[in-house]
Structure 1
Amino acid sequence: MKEKDITAREFKPLEHRMVPMHEILEKNDLEKTLSEYNINKEQMPKIHITDPVAVSIKAKVGDVVRITRMSQTAGKSIFYRLVIA
């Protein structure tokens, strides 16, 4: 039996059980978030444009991604990442 090569088009990282939900923030949500944390976009942690999930959600440089992680101990945790090149 031959091992099948998985191409980037076939790989769907968001379908993996260990990958949390990623979504691109809308402009009004971004403004609220920046105001709430009293920061600007450049102060946010970064995610590279070539990250498999960033590619999967079609993120563009300058977008901000909201990552929602679920944990049995901590419950729901939300993180933000600025997409960079």
Structure 2
Amino acid sequence: MTETRETRIKRMKMRSMRRGIKEMDLILSAYADRHLDSMDAAALDTYDALLRENDQDLYQWVTGQAAAPAALSDLIGDIAQTFQK
């Protein structure tokens, strides 16, 4: 069964809010609220892949403590810019 765009975005917003650590809940839920509705299908695919990553790794990537994988580096950079504002 395929997901509608609306259902997919709702699922990803919920997944962004319900992470493992509070810091990532705050960072990703704010980013998702601002950006998911305007993303195209490819960008949503990348964000969905990001949601499968470990919170401790995500936090280090977003805060610049470690380099993000190449496939996620542009998205991580965008999230980091949003986080720093």
TM-score range, shorter chain: under 0.3
TM-score, scaled to structure 1: 0.25
Which has the larger helix fraction?
2
TM-score, scaled to structure 2: 0.25
Identify the structure with bigger relative contact order (alpha carbons < 8 Å, sequence gap 6+). 1
Structure (1 or 2) with the larger CA radius of gyration: 1
